[in-house]
């Protein structure tokens, strides 16, 4: 949450404001309620900030034209203090010489603020961040240099931070520090250095990157970085690595085609991303699989869409002969699992690898109960990867749209691969069945491609659903994961109230809301639940519901009792149907997108949300 982008360079005639604004726009998915830039300009700090989205704030080039040599910007997702101008970052100290941006939460900010107020500091915002500026101001006044002032300050602050600090009197460097909030550095050796919350922000400028670790502080000079440990104070020798993914990842174009929104561009990436996921070397899964099979109790945890992927995955792993897995929402993990038995294992799923609740669950299981951690993560080098014994990186690549879609599809695919590798290594299902499942999994890439080609029907149904205020999603078994994902997407990007229920649960309460015209979406692949689903469709129809069903291309029975159907070209085999979550969820993700744009909304940046939820 919140995006940070900073630049220091020795290149002449650099348009610093414009470069920072462009970097912030590439990070806007992390928060978009206010933004600002501070730069050092001939011994003073120039500051421009406002509430609203960057494009509006920058009308007439207001941010682009800020004069200065180097500086930092921030795009905010409000936690402490409303999204108004005085709470927007950067924040300045009392002297106006120190500028700071921050991502994270200072947990003890109230105590620190009280002390600072008593010592006469003038606070201009309601944020937790501002305590940093005044603490640094005090350490500078005591004679510490800027780096040591930042070190002393972060030692006093409890919580999470990615911070960038500039000082009007130090025109040749700036300082960054990190703990539990992401901060990455980009370098053009000898020329420019960038700092950002995420790599795509500087990808058009450089591919040389360093991922700052927890409790590290760095001095950034043009094209040069010095990294120190906050506690031991020692200089570290860290070399940059080359970012392998393409610049396309951070842009709205794909294979030369320009898309209007990241969400639809990323949905078009799904077929290729599944293909890449299926092709990862099988031996990469072995450590992960062994850890699962060696554990006495296995949990799986995640939030939001990643949790729904986890639900599909736990089912697949058990079906393939792996252990039964307990799924627990990461935000509930500490409260619902008061004790973990010896030799427990937690599988954590996360696109960003930075979700605070997921990290809390993992650290609790690991530090308190000595559990092993296996994680499936999309972002290389993210915090979750550092707390894990085994990591499987998904092939989705950078996901910019706030609502997850391609990450979900690759997470489900990765979990299915783990199930199949367990089956292979432990002979839990026959070799022939493993082969059939693998073929079915690989075919989901082609099926999603086909769905994209035949998207007309999904658009048509989107048109019929767009004006409803409430929609139910019903499914049984593994398809529930697709229904939950579809319901969440529609809620997020189209602001329609949705609920996803196990179809059998509906008559235990939810059916009370059904009256003439109430829309119900059934996810009904022809699996072992099919006949029971027919009964559930009939229960809804006979009470006046309008039934929309996701069915196979050859379906007859549910089609005959539904008002509308979307037909998925599954392969004609039990194994293909068992692998139906990704195609079914993909249809629903596309549908949510079409409804969002038909309603004139912004599908990339739903209100009140941000990608990478780094607060609990
Ligand atoms: C939904 C969505 C969120 C995330 C959730 C977990 O479209 O994007 O529900 O899935 O915030 O985030 P990660 O996967 O980064 O841990």
The pLDDT tens digits of the residues spanning 326-382 come to 999 999 999 999 999 999 999 999 999 999 999 999 999 999 999 999 999 999 888
Atom number of ligand 1 nearest to Cα 303: 6
Query: Is the Cβ atom of 203 under 6 angstroms away from ligand 1?
Result: no
Tokens of 553: 């291309």
Ligand 1 centroid vs 103 CA: distance in angstroms?
A: 18
Would you say residue 72 has pLDDT above 90? Answer: yes
Would you say residue 616 has pLDDT above 80? Answer: no
Given 49, 147, 265, 611, the catalytic residue:
611
Ligand 1 atom 11 nearest Cα: 304
Residue 611 appears among annotated catalytic residues = yes
194, 263, 399, 600, 605 from 467: Cα distances, Å: 45, 21, 29, 12, 20
Largest CA distance in the chain: 80
610 or 211: which leads in pLDDT: 211
Give the domain-ending residue among 223, 249, 275.
Answer: 249
The pLDDT score that the predictor gives to residue 615 is 74
30-52: average pLDDT:
95
The pLDDT score that the predictor gives to residue 112 is 97
Q: Is residue 237 domain-shared with residue 255, that is, in the same domain?
A: no
* Lowest-pLDDT range of 18-22, 74-78, 379-383, 417-421: 379-383
Would you say residue 577 has pLDDT above 80? Answer: yes
Rounded CA-CA distance 117/353 in Å is: 37
The pLDDT score that the predictor gives to residue 55 is 95
The mean pLDDT value of the chain amounts to 95
Would you say residue 586 has pLDDT above 80? Answer: yes
Nearest CA-CA partner of 589 in 417, 399, 442 = 399
Residue 557 appears among annotated catalytic residues = no
Q: Is residue 472 domain-shared with residue 412, that is, in the same domain?
A: no
CA dihedral 280, 283, 287, 291 (to 10 degrees): 90
The pLDDT score that the predictor gives to residue 613 is 80
DSSP state of 366: I
Rounded CA-CA distance 5/37 in Å is: 9
Q: Is residue 265 domain-shared with residue 347, that is, in the same domain?
A: yes
Of 77, 262, 303, 604, the one to substitute when testing ligand 1's pocket (max ligand atoms within 8 A of C-beta) is 303
Ligand 1 centroid vs 304 CA: distance in angstroms?
A: 5
532-540: average pLDDT:
96
Q: Is residue 37 domain-shared with residue 185, that is, in the same domain?
A: yes
Q: Is residue 256 domain-shared with residue 225, that is, in the same domain?
A: no
CB atoms within 10 A of CB 230: 17
Of 304, 358, 615, the one to substitute when testing ligand 1's pocket (max ligand atoms within 8 A of C-beta) is 304
546-565: average pLDDT:
97
Per-residue confidence band for 119, with pLDDT thresholds at 50, 70 and 90: very high
Q: Is residue 12 domain-shared with residue 117, that is, in the same domain?
A: yes
Residues 235/227, Cβ–Cβ less than 8 Å: yes
Q: Is residue 147 domain-shared with residue 235, that is, in the same domain?
A: yes
The pLDDT score that the predictor gives to residue 548 is 98
Question: Residue 613 domain-assigned?
Answer: no
Q: Is residue 176 domain-shared with residue 48, that is, in the same domain?
A: yes
Query: Is the Cβ atom of 405 under 6 angstroms away from ligand 1?
Result: no
* Lowest-pLDDT range of 100-104, 108-112, 249-253: 249-253
Sign of the four-CA dihedral 493, 499, 501, 507: negative
Percent of the chain whose predicted confidence (pLDDT) is above 70: 100
Nearest CA-CA partner of 132 in 399, 143, 142, 108 = 108
Ligand 1 centroid vs 498 CA: distance in angstroms?
A: 17
Q: Is residue 278 domain-shared with residue 384, that is, in the same domain?
A: yes
Query: Is the Cβ atom of 411 under 6 angstroms away from ligand 1?
Result: no
Ligand 1 centroid vs 427 CA: distance in angstroms?
A: 34
Atom number of ligand 1 nearest to Cα 613: 11
Sign of the four-CA dihedral 585, 588, 589, 590: positive
Query: Is the Cβ atom of 358 under 6 angstroms away from ligand 1?
Result: yes
Per-residue confidence band for 401, with pLDDT thresholds at 50, 70 and 90: very high
Rounded CA-CA distance 298/348 in Å is: 11
Nearest CA-CA partner of 578 in 500, 481, 490, 506 = 481
Q: What is the pLDDT of residues 432-479, one digit of tens each?
A: 999 999 999 999 999 999 999 999 999 999 999 999 999 999 999 999
The pLDDT score that the predictor gives to residue 46 is 97
Q: Is residue 425 domain-shared with residue 474, that is, in the same domain?
A: no
Ligand 1 atom 9 nearest Cα: 304
Phi, psi of 18 (to 5 degrees): -65, -45
Per-residue confidence band for 124, with pLDDT thresholds at 50, 70 and 90: very high
Sheet holding 192-196, edge to edge: 44-51, 34-41, 70-76, 3-9, 192-196, 184-188, 208-211, 241-242
Rounded CA-CA distance 138/348 in Å is: 41
Question: Residue 440 domain-assigned?
Answer: no
Query: Is the Cβ atom of 355 under 6 angstroms away from ligand 1?
Result: yes
DSSP string, 46-108: EEEEEES-HHHHTGGGTTTT---SEEEEEEE--SSS-SSGGGSSPEE-TTS-EEEEEEEEETT
CA 57 remoteness from chain centre: 25
Say which residue the tokens 């990290």 belong to. 359
Would you say residue 86 has pLDDT above 80? Answer: yes
SS3 392: strand
Domain count for the chain: 3
496-503: average pLDDT:
97
Ligand 1 atom 7 nearest Cα: 403
List beta partners, residue 49.
36
The pLDDT score that the predictor gives to residue 463 is 98
The pLDDT score that the predictor gives to residue 253 is 87
Ligand 1 atom 5 nearest Cα: 304
Give the domain-ending residue among 228, 249, 270.
Answer: 249
Question: Residue 441 domain-assigned?
Answer: no
Say which residue the tokens 């062994």 belong to. 290
Ligand 1 centroid vs 19 CA: distance in angstroms?
A: 29
Ligand 1 centroid vs 376 CA: distance in angstroms?
A: 13
Question: Residue 443 domain-assigned?
Answer: no
Query: Is the Cβ atom of 488 under 6 angstroms away from ligand 1?
Result: yes
Rounded CA-CA distance 341/221 in Å is: 49
Say which residue the tokens 């939820």 belong to. 613
Residues 353/383, Cβ–Cβ less than 8 Å: yes
Q: Which residues contact 318 (CB under 8 A, 6 or more apart)?
A: 324, 325, 419
Ligand 1 atom 6 nearest Cα: 303
CATH number of the domain residue 543 falls in: 3.40.50.10490
CATH number of the domain residue 207 falls in: 3.60.20.10
Phi, psi of 191 (to 5 degrees): -125, -60
Question: Residue 70 domain-assigned?
Answer: yes
Give the global pTM.
Answer: 0.90
Q: Is residue 48 domain-shared with residue 172, that is, in the same domain?
A: yes
Sign of the four-CA dihedral 570, 490, 52, 211: negative
Question: Residue 435 domain-assigned?
Answer: no
Q: Is residue 213 domain-shared with residue 257, that is, in the same domain?
A: no
Range(s) of the domain holding residue 284: 251-429
237-248: average pLDDT:
86
Question: Residue 394 domain-assigned?
Answer: yes
The dihedral region occupied by 298, where left means phi > 0, alpha psi between -120 and 50, and beta the remainder, is beta
CB atoms within 10 A of CB 2: 28
For residue 340, is the peptide bond before it cis, meaning its omega torsion is within 30 degrees of 0? no
Given 2, 195, 330, 584, the catalytic residue:
2
371, 385, 486 from 340: Cα distances, Å: 8, 21, 32
Rounded CA-CA distance 584/548 in Å is: 13
Query: Is the Cβ atom of 304 under 6 angstroms away from ligand 1?
Result: yes
Query: Is the Cβ atom of 486 under 6 angstroms away from ligand 1?
Result: no
Rounded CA-CA distance 349/366 in Å is: 15
Query: Is the Cβ atom of 351 under 6 angstroms away from ligand 1?
Result: yes
Give the domain-ending residue among 220, 249, 278.
Answer: 249
The pLDDT score that the predictor gives to residue 610 is 83
The pLDDT score that the predictor gives to residue 247 is 73
Question: Residue 611 domain-assigned?
Answer: no
Residues 566/587, Cβ–Cβ less than 8 Å: yes
């Amino acid at each position: 949450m919140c995006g940070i982008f900073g630049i220091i360079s020795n290149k002449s005639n650099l348009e610093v404001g414009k470069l920072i604004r462009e970097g912030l726009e590439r990070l806007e998915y992390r928060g978009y309620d206010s933004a600002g830039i501070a730069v050092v300009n001939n011994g003073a700090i120039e500051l421009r900030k406002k509430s609203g989205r960057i494009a509006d704030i920058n009308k007439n080039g207001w941010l682009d034209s800020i004069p200065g040599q180097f500086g930092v910007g921030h795009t905010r997702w409000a936690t402490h203090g409303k999204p108004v101008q005085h709470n927007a970052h950067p924040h300045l100290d009392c002297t106006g010489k120190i500028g700071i941006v921050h991502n994270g939460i200072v947990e003890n900010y109230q105590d620190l603020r009280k002390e600072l107020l008593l010592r006469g500091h003038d606070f201009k915002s309601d944020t937790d961040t501002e305590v940093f500026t005044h603490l640094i101001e005090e350490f500078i006044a005591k004679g510490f240099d800027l780096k040591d002032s930042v070190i002393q300050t972060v030692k006093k602050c409890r919580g999470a931070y990615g911070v960038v600090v500039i000082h009007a009197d130090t025109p040749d460097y700036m300082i960054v520090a990190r703990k539990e909030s992401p901060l990455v550095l980009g370098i053009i050796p000898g020329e420019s250095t960038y700092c950002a919350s995420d790599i795509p922000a500087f990808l058009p400028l450089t591919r040389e990157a360093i991922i700052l670790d927890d409790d590290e502080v760095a001095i950034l000079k043009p094209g040069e970085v010095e990294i120190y440990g906050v506690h031991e104070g020692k200089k570290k020798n860290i070399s940059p690595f080359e970012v392998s993914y393409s610049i396309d990842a951070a842009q709205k174009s794909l294979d030369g085609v320009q898309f209007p929104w990241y969400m639809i561009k990323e949905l078009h990436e799904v077929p290729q991303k599944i293909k890449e996921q299926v092709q990862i070397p099988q031996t990469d899964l072995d450590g992960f699989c062994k850890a699962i099979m060696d554990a006495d109790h296995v949990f799986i945890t995640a939030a939001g869409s990643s949790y729904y992927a986890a639900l599909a995955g736990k089912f697949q792993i058990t079906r393939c002969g792996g252990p039964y897995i307990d799924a627990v929402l990461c935000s509930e993990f500490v409260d619902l699992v008061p004790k973990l038995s010896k030799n427990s294992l937690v599988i954590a799923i996360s696109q960003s690898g930075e979700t605070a609740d997921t990290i809390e669950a993992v650290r609790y299981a690991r530090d308190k109960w000595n559990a092993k951690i296996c994680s499936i993560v999309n972002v290389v080098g993210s915090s979750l990867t550092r707390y894990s014994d085994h990591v499987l990186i998904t092939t989705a690549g950078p996901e910019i749209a706030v609502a997850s879609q391609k990450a979900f599809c690759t997470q489900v695919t990765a979990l299915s691969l783990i199930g199949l590798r367990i089956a292979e290594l432990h002979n839990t299902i026959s070799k022939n069945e493993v082969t059939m499942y693998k073929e079915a999994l690989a075919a989901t890439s082609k099926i999603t491609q086909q769905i994209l080609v035949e998207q007309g029907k999904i658009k048509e149904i989107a048109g019929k659903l767009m004006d409803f205020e409430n929609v139910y999603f019903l499914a049984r078994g593994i398809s529930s994961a697709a229904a939950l994902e579809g319901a969440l997407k529609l809620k997020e990007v189209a602001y329609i109230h949705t609920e996803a229920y196990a179809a059998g649960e509906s008559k235990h309460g939810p059916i009370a809301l059904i009256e003439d015209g109430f829309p119900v979406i059934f996810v009904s692949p022809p699996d072992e639940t099919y006949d029971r689903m027919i009964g559930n469709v009939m229960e809804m129809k006979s009470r006046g519901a309008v039934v929309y069903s996701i069915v196979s291309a050859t379906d007859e029975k549910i089609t005959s009792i539904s008002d509308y159907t979307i037909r998925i070209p599954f392969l004609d085999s039990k194994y293909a149907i068992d692998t139906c979550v990704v195609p079914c969820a993909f249809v629903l993700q596309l549908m949510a997108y079409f409804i969002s744009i038909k309603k004139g909304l912004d599908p990339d940046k739903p209100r009140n949300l941000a990608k990478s939820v780094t607060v609990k």
